[in-house]
């Protein structure tokens, strides 16, 4: 039964960690932590027969594969010393610092579960995970690595235990890994769980994969060669990989009634390129040679999944009539897809890891927190467990707003849940729903990729009690209930408080700190209001925006420049008549680019804002204008927004991208807008001058699917 696995030593760990943690002092400290843990665990053995220290060492090794930071690696080495040895948390804090101490105590707490009835045990578990997450997500990531190594050595346990652990892993840990976007860990956990839960199914699939392997390998290899040649002809630097499908994902598809022989993506390729633009270009080139299957094209670059995943997916008829699922993404996107967004950023930008983790998971935490708050009094234990299981951990669907924003909802969600998720006000003024251009009943069960439009009316009398039966999400039900249980004023006050809290959270501020006595006075004075509740009330009933309140205390900051944008708004781009040094901004209503006729507008306290002379916003501002010119030496690219109206509902993104790639512009973002009878694309791109842009507009209007192309002025 024993599997040959490499026995790791501390040198292996230092080797792998040293690849991304470069300070020798840090590595020395990791060694010291290891020596301590080894001494503490000496004389202890795992059920597998190994010395116990092999376990924490392996957990740390797993963490290096997702580039975890030094504190996480150290905490992984120490994660069992409090539970299994005589160390105390305070001893660890004293020896190795507060950060590591906190992580170790977090993991230890997670491991101390109270077994009683199954539900109670789950509640305890979920609560601990939630608390752990809100304090420091690294605790959960260490726990995931711990779980993974335990699963890898599960063969050493008796069968009953195996099944129990595998079930736990599949229900709790794999979904959490998915939510954090750590694909590597998620899919190994799933495969291992399946192997112990349903060994027959697992080995059956594995065997089928094996017997067809040779044939598949050859086909994949030939296809790989074809695609490589094709991309090289077009000078696209790339790497191409045949891709192994996980056994669990095949199992999932079989469960849904698909036949083994029909599963498209058994034959799969992944293409890695350098830039986002090359992704689209590669896609266009591949489609020009291999016919794509309609409706299998997915653009997760323009519309990333909520866990940060980005990639283009397409399925084409490849060689010998085999279907190939092809994924195209940049190296960076691949890193995120494999290791999770948090570890990627921490690693790439050498940021304080704990801060990055906190930021990227903030949205998810709010989900957890909302349920935690509910659980406190309003819900039975059973409801609590069910709602966590349904809404947080399992089976989410992704649907779209008409603008193309992704909304994540639990399976079984209805348009009511969608409306309330967009905004409570949308939910409360909802009168109907349109899904994929047809009117549906409010009880319609939303499906993946549905495009949902909510019809609202000012005259709506609010939700009906019937909706409580139709809504799926606990959050929705709670909002509906609170509509009925409170009188209006209270409701508005609460709503106002919520939106202020949300707005402040974006700025990383707590509502308590913000509303100091002094600040309340200042706001009330400015807006002629009467105390804190009155402020909440005015925000809640829509008379005053949350941001307006905040800006009274904190004057507006400039909008941050888009990350990665290949442009710096340099003062030297624009020459202002008669003035030497002055702050200059390009207006983001009309986005002027070199070659455009431009006029400067003198703002109050924010320098000169440059508009196109035809911008309608200027007519209001006439007497504060100043003459400006483009600096002819500028060689930057500038943002321009182009809207392409097609005459069809078919996805024409590929044709459009192909045209765009013929002109020297960089695409930043493409938004697909679904109209009733046409698709409209809004493209944010960077271009050096108006001549190039005009050439692009011309090229695009030559496409037979294009009805009209225009530059946007907002």
Applying CB under 5 A, the residues found at the interface with Mn ion are 80, 146
Nearer of residues 192 and 608 to Mn ion, judged by Cβ? 192
Nearer of residues 34 and 514 to Mn ion, judged by Cβ? 34
665/661 Cα distance (integer angstroms)? 7
122/161 Cα distance (integer angstroms)? 17
Contact partners, residue 463, CB within 8 Å, separation at least 6: 416, 427, 428, 430, 480, 483, 484
- Rounded to 10 deg, the angle between the 532-540 and 517-527 helix axes is 60
Please say whether the beta carbons of 407 and 400 come within 8 A.
Answer: yes
DSSP secondary structure code for residue 590 in this structure = T
In which region does residue 89 sit, left (phi positive, over 0), alpha (psi from -120 to 50) or beta (all else)?
Answer: alpha
CA dihedral 540, 546, 548, 554 (to 10 degrees): 140
60/149 Cα distance (integer angstroms)? 10
User: Which of 15, 35, 83, 664 is flagged as catalytic?
Assistant: 83
What minimum distance in Å lies between the beta carbon of 11 and Mn ion?
22
What minimum distance in Å lies between the beta carbon of 87 and Mn ion?
14
438/538 Cα distance (integer angstroms)? 37
User: Which of 50, 51, 84, 571 is flagged as catalytic?
Assistant: 84
477/482 Cα distance (integer angstroms)? 8
CA-only gyration radius of the chain, Å: 28
Nearer of residues 53 and 696 to Mn ion, judged by Cβ? 53
| In 507-608, alpha helices (H) | 511-514, 517-527, 532-540, 546-553
What minimum distance in Å lies between the beta carbon of 172 and Mn ion?
15
- Which SS3 state, helix, strand or coil, does residue 326 take? strand
What minimum distance in Å lies between the beta carbon of 9 and Mn ion?
19
Nearest residue to Mn ion, by Cβ distance, number only: 146
281/294 Cα distance (integer angstroms)? 18
334/345 Cα distance (integer angstroms)? 13
Q: Which helix (H) or strand (E) holds 298?
A: strand 298-299
Long-range (24+ apart) CB contacts under 8 A made by 528-537 are 533/493, 535/496, 535/500, 536/492, 536/493, 536/494, 536/496, 536/497, 536/500, 537/489, 537/492, 537/493, 537/496
What minimum distance in Å lies between the beta carbon of 162 and Mn ion?
17
- Cα 573 to chain centroid distance, Å, stands at 35
Nearer of residues 69 and 80 to Mn ion, judged by Cβ? 80
What minimum distance in Å lies between the beta carbon of 105 and Mn ion?
14
Nearer of residues 111 and 701 to Mn ion, judged by Cβ? 111
Helix then strand then coil, % of the chain, to nearest 5: 55, 15, 30
DSSP secondary structure code for residue 271 in this structure = E
What minimum distance in Å lies between the beta carbon of 141 and Mn ion?
14
Nearer of residues 33 and 599 to Mn ion, judged by Cβ? 33
Kindly state the tokens that stand for 395: 């089976």
In which order are the strands placed within the sheet that holds 666-674? 666-674, 679-687, 638-646, 706-711
Residue keyed to tokens 């590595």: 27
269/240 Cα distance (integer angstroms)? 7
What minimum distance in Å lies between the beta carbon of 313 and Mn ion?
36
What minimum distance in Å lies between the beta carbon of 146 and Mn ion?
4
Count of alpha carbons within 13 Å of 355, Cβ hemisphere only? 6
What minimum distance in Å lies between the beta carbon of 448 and Mn ion?
36
Comparing CA positions, the residue from 483, 491, 482, 485 lying closest to residue 461 is: 483
Comparing CA positions, the residue from 40, 26, 50, 121 lying closest to residue 80 is: 40
The partner residues of 430 in beta bridges, in order of sequence, read 456
What minimum distance in Å lies between the beta carbon of 10 and Mn ion?
17
The partner residues of 608 in beta bridges, in order of sequence, read 584, 602
What are the distances in angstroms from CA 454 to CA 207, 425, 601?
A: 48, 12, 39
What minimum distance in Å lies between the beta carbon of 17 and Mn ion?
19
664/672 Cα distance (integer angstroms)? 22
Nearer of residues 80 and 573 to Mn ion, judged by Cβ? 80
567/561 Cα distance (integer angstroms)? 9
Nearer of residues 143 and 612 to Mn ion, judged by Cβ? 143
Nearer of residues 80 and 325 to Mn ion, judged by Cβ? 80
Say whether 69 is catalytic: no
E strand spans, 562-627? 574-576, 584-586, 598-602, 608-612, 625-626
Nearer of residues 111 and 634 to Mn ion, judged by Cβ? 111
Residue count (the chain): 714
Nearer of residues 145 and 266 to Mn ion, judged by Cβ? 145
DSSP secondary structure code for residue 554 in this structure = S
What minimum distance in Å lies between the beta carbon of 132 and Mn ion?
15
365/505 Cα distance (integer angstroms)? 12
Please say whether the beta carbons of 540 and 494 come within 8 A.
Answer: yes
Nearer of residues 102 and 253 to Mn ion, judged by Cβ? 102
Say whether 276 is catalytic: no
Nearer of residues 80 and 190 to Mn ion, judged by Cβ? 80
CA 379, 385, 387, 392 dihedral sign is positive
Please say whether the beta carbons of 100 and 26 come within 8 A.
Answer: no
265/450 Cα distance (integer angstroms)? 22
Active-site residue list: 83-84
């Amino acid at each position: 039964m024993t599997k040959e696995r490499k026995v790791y030593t501390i040198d292996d760990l230092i080797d792998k960690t040293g690849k991304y943690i470069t300070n020798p002092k840090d590595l020395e400290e990791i060694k010291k932590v290891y020596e301590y843990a080894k001494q503490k665990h000496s004389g202890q053995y795992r059920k597998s027969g190994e010395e116990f220290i092999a376990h924490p060492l392996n957990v740390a090794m797993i963490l290096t594969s997702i580039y975890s930071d030094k504190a996480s690696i150290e905490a992984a080495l120490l994660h069992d010393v409090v539970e299994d040895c005589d160390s105390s948390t305070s001893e660890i804090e004293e020896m190795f610092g507060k950060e590591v101490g906190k992580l170790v105590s977090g993991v230890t707490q997670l491991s101390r579960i109270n077994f009683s009835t199954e539900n109670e045990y789950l509640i305890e578990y979920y609560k601990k995970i939630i608390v752990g997450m809100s304090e420091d997500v690294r605790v959960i990531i260490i726990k995931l690595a711990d779980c993974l190594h335990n699963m890898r050595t599960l063969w050493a346990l008796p069968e009953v235990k195996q099944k129990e652990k595998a079930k736990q892993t599949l229900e709790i840990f794999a979904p959490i890994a998915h939510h954090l976007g750590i694909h590597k860990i998620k899919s190994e956990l799933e495969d291992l769980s399946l192997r112990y839960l349903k060994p027959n199914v697992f080995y059956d699939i594995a065997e089928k994969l094996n017997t067809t392997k040779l044939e598949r390998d050859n086909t994949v290899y030939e296809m790989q060669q074809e695609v490589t040649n094709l991309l090289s002809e077009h000078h696209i630097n790339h790497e191409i990989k045949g891709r192994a499908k996980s056994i669990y994902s095949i199992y999932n598809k079989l469960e849904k009634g698909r036949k083994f022989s029909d599963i498209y993506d058994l034959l799969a390729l992944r293409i890695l390129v350098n830039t986002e633009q090359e992704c689209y270009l590669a896609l266009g080139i591949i489609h020009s040679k291999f016919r794509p299957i309609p409706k299998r094209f997915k653009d997760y670059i323009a519309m990333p999944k909520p866990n940060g995943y980005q990639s283009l997916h397409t399925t084409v008829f490849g060689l010998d009539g085999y279907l190939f699922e092809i994924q195209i993404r940049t190296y960076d996107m691949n890193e995120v897809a494999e290791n999770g967004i948090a570890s990627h950023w921490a690693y790439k930008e050498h940021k304080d890891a704990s801060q990055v983790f906190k930021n990227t998971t903030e949205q998810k935490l709010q989900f957890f927190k909302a349920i935690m708050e509910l659980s406190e009094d309003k819900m039975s234990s059973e409801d609590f467990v069910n709602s966590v299981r349904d809404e947080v951990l399992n089976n989410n669907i992704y649907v779209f707003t008409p603008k193309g924003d992704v909304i994540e909802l639990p399976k079984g969600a209805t348009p009511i849940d969608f409306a309330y998720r967009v905004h409570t006000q949308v939910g409360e003024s909802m009168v109907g729903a349109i899904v994929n251009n047809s009117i549906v009943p409010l009880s319609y069960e939303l499906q993946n990729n549905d495009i949902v439009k909510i019809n609202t009316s000012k005259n709506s009398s609010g939700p009906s009690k019937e909706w409580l039966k139709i809504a799926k999400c606990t959050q929705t039900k709670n909002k509906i209930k609170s509509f009925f249980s409170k009188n209006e004023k209270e409701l508005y006050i609460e709503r106002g408080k919520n939106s202020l809290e949300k707005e402040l959270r974006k700025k990383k501020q707590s509502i308590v700190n913000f509303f100091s006595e002094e600040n309340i006075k200042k706001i009330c004075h400015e807006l002629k209001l009467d105390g804190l509740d009155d402020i909440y009330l005015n925000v809640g009933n829509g008379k005053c925006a949350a941001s307006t309140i905040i800006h009274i205390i904190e004057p507006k900051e400039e909008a941050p420049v888009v990350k990665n944008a290949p442009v710096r708004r340099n003062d030297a781009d624009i020459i202002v008549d008669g003035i030497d040094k002055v702050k200059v901004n390009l207006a983001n209503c009309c986005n002027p680019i070199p070659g455009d006729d431009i006029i400067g507008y003198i703002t109050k306290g924010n320098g000169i804002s440059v508009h196109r002379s035809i911008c309608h916003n200027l007519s209001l501002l006439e007497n504060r204008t100043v003459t400006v010119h483009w600096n002819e030496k500028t060689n930057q690219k500038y943002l321009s927004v182009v809207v392409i109206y097609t005459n069809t509902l078919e996805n024409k993104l590929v044709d459009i991208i192909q045209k765009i790639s013929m002109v020297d512009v960089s695409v930043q973002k493409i938004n697909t807008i679904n109209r009733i009878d046409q698709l409209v694309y809004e493209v944010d791109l960077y271009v050096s001058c108006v001549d190039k842009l005009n050439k692009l507009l011309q090229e695009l209007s030559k496409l037979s699917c294009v009805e009209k192309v225009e530059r946007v002025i907002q």
